[in-house]
Amino acid sequence: MPRARLRDPPTTINLTCVRAARVPRGAITGGGRVTGGHAATGTPCHRVRGETPAEAMFEQHPQEEHPHEDHETSSSDDDCRGRHTLDQVTDLNHAAPYDLVRPCDVKGILHSHSRYCDGAHTLESMVVTAREIGLEYLGVSDHFRSAVHRDGITLDKARSQRDEIEDLRRRYPEVDLLQGVEVDADHDGALLLDDAALDFFDYVIASVPDTVGGDEDPLTDQIVAVASNPRVTILGKPVGDFMLRRSNGMLDMERVLQAAAAGGTAVEINANPCCAELDWSCCKRAQELGVAMVISPDAHRAARLVDFRHGAELAQDAGLYCSSILNTLSSAELRRYLTTGTMPEP
């Protein structure tokens, strides 16, 4: 399926506006109090509306004047003041493409597992939970049967799953349910399903099992081959783990990200990293290259769907924009992307 690279983000951001948008929870600013809210609680992000212009926020902390600074260059900042209301700069429901991603910007999840494979709960339980935590869509991506995942689904089982998905779509129209699949790659990076079988699914997550690799089959070469496969939508394990930590020579992430950028393949960000020391280098490099990233909890039970919140906070700490995160797209935008490879205009 065709995919497109993300548009290059701007090289500079207005730090003043970023500070204004990150008003502390419960802060009293001018005429309105900012309140919290989160998709994971089942209630939308919101705030008490106020009419005070955003300039009041800046005036509380006036900038120190520098005698050697050319004040003519600050005219754009002056023009910005007074143009935005408190509602606009603290709008927690509608993010601009180059705003830092927040938990409430994540519209859905694309990596989850059900009882059809090694998940703990039924598809219906997963859908009900997704609806309760305010998600717009849920992608179930059970493992396809392999030597590593002997309890994975087969094509016959996938067809039965499709029938249940169609039924759940009718019963729970609030949640757009997608059918993906997680497929293992073999020693040379080829997937264990042919193209016709892969086309049955809405999207494909490709992973490299821990048992694959070694001196004879370098891990980097395998994953580069996977990233270059036009049928692969998202790179899963182990790339999702290395996005948040140093590879320590195990994987050449620069080559992997270059291949993902060239192939239009998205890359997972593990929402629950197990590493003690986080490193944002790979996330920042992916954003520079225009590689789409997906915040993935890899939920094997319904309660773990909410872990996307932690992943979004990690992505924000890494300085990632909403326009870099695939699952900040709406359901309609995501389906259009999966079909045509076209990202919405920022």
Does residue 225 belong to any structural domain of this protein? Answer: yes
Cβ contacts of 106 within 8 Å, gap of 6 or more = 39, 135, 295, 308, 309, 311, 312, 325, 327, 328
| Structural domain includes residue 270 | yes
Count of C-beta atoms within a 10 Å radius of residue 190: 13
Same domain, 109 and 220: yes
The DSSP output letter for 5 is P
Is the residue at 206 inside a domain?
A: yes
CA dihedral 15, 242, 305, 232 (to 10 degrees): 100
Kind of pairing between the strands at 28-29 and 32-33: antiparallel
Q: Are residues 239 and 317 in the same domain?
A: yes
If 0-12 CB within 10 Å is exposed, 13-18 middle and 19+ buried, where does residue 162 land? middle
Tell me whether residue 197 is in a domain. Answer: yes
| Helix, strand, coil tally for the chain in percent (to 5) | 35, 15, 50
Q: How far apart are CA 32 and CA 263, in angstroms?
A: 47
Distance in angstroms (rounded) separating the CA atoms of residues 32 and 46: 12
Rounded Cα–Cα distance for residues 123 and 114 (Å): 6
Specify if 9 maps to a domain. Answer: no
The verdict on residue 209 lying in a domain is: yes
Query: Within a domain: residue 7?
Result: no
Domain boundary among 54, 89, 124: 89
Residues 297 and 154 in one domain: yes
State whether 56 and 126 are in the same domain: no
As a whole number of angstroms, the distance between CA 192 and CA 76 comes to 56
CB 136 within 8 Å of CB 178: no
Based on the domain organization, do 202 and 312 belong to the same domain?
Answer: yes
Q: Quote the pTM value.
A: 0.73
For residue 150, the number of C-alpha atoms closer than 13 Å in the C-beta half-sphere is 1
| Domain range for 216 | 103-340
pLDDT tens, N- to C-terminus, the chain (346 residues): 555 545 444 444 333 333 333 333 333 333 333 333 444 434 344 333 333 333 333 334 444 444 444 444 444 444 443 344 444 444 555 567 679 999 999 999 999 999 999 888 999 999 999 999 999 999 999 999 988 888 889 999 999 999 999 999 999 999 999 999 999 998 889 998 999 999 999 999 999 886 544 543 588 999 999 999 999 999 998 899 889 888 777 889 999 999 999 999 999 999 987 766 789 999 999 999 999 999 999 999 999 999 999 999 999 999 999 999 999 999 999 999 998 876 677 6
Residues 171 and 77 in one domain: no
Q: Are residues 119 and 83 in the same domain?
A: no
The answer to whether the beta carbons of residues 95 and 318 sit under 8 Å apart is: no
Domain count, the chain: 2
Q: Which two tokens stand for residue 139?
A: 């992608």
| Res 341: pLDDT | 74
- Angle between helical axes of 219-227 and 253-263 (0-180°, round to 10): 10
CATH code: domain of residue 119: 3.20.20.140
Give helix 155-171 / helix 123-132 axis angle, nearest 10°: 40
Verify that 59 and 127 share a domain, yes or no. Answer: no
* 52 and 172 assigned to the same domain: no
Q: What is the number of other CB atoms lying within 10 angstroms of the CB of residue 37? A: 18
**183 near 192, Cβ under 8 Å?**
yes
Q: Is residue 124 part of a domain?
A: yes
Sheet holding 176-184, edge to edge: 108-109, 137-140, 176-184, 203-207, 234-235, 266-270, 293-296
Residues 123 and 190 in one domain: yes
**Side-chain-facing half-sphere of 220: CA atoms under 13 Å:** 14
Say if residue 172 is in the same domain as residue 280: yes
The residue from 89, 115, 134 where one domain ends is 89
Task: Report pLDDT for 91.
Answer: 52
Same domain for 209 and 283, yes or no, is yes
